[in-house]
């Protein structure tokens, strides 16, 4: 499978404590497979090429980050998911077809912290 990828990200500070993160990932995916069928004596009886391409797939993400202190941060994020699976085939061997991509959305809430030893 051949892939072309890129990404962009921007972080905007609303205040010293509050930040917004926006981003996007770009991808194009191309897959091709050659299937050959031979007779017992080694003679080639058929040859087929299966191809699949997904172009210009954009998967955006966004996050909000708030610093509670120098050591603690809370955050919320949202991200779209896309995973090409064209290199996996389904169906009968005579008529295979690429699997559909995995798509979805991921939501995340969390707290990040650092516990420093006194001393």
* Residue 119 is assigned to a structural domain of this protein: no
- Please give the residue range of the domain that contains residue 100: 2-113
Mean pLDDT comparison of 50-54, 67-71, 91-95, highest-scoring range: 67-71
Lookup result for tokens 């980050």: 65
Phi–psi pair at 116, nearest 5 degrees: -100, 140
Band (34; pLDDT cuts 50, 70, 90): confident
- 86 burial (CB, 10 Å; 0-12 / 13-18 / 19+) is buried
Residue 106: the pLDDT is: 96
Tally of domains within the chain? 1
Helix, strand counts (H, E) of the chain? 0, 7
* Residue 25 is assigned to a structural domain of this protein: yes
* Residue 118 is assigned to a structural domain of this protein: no
pTM of the model: 0.68
Distances in whole angstroms, Cα of residue 22 to Cα of each of 19, 53, 82? 10, 27, 17
* Residue 62 is assigned to a structural domain of this protein: yes
């Amino acid at each position: 499978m051949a892939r072309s990828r890129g990404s962009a990200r921007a972080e905007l500070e609303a205040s010293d404590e509050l930040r917004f993160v926006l981003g996007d990932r770009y991808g194009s995916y191309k897959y091709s497979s050659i299937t050959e069928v031979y007779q017992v004596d080694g003679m080639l009886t058929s040859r087929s090429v299966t191809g699949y391409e997904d172009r210009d797939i954009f998967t955006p993400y966004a996050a909000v980050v708030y610093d509670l202190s120098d050591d603690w941060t809370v955050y919320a994020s949202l991200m779209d998911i896309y995973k090409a699976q064209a290199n996996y085939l389904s169906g009968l061997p005579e008529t295979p077809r690429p699997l559909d991509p995995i798509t979805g959305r991921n939501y995340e809430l969390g707290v990040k912290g650092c516990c420093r030893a006194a001393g």
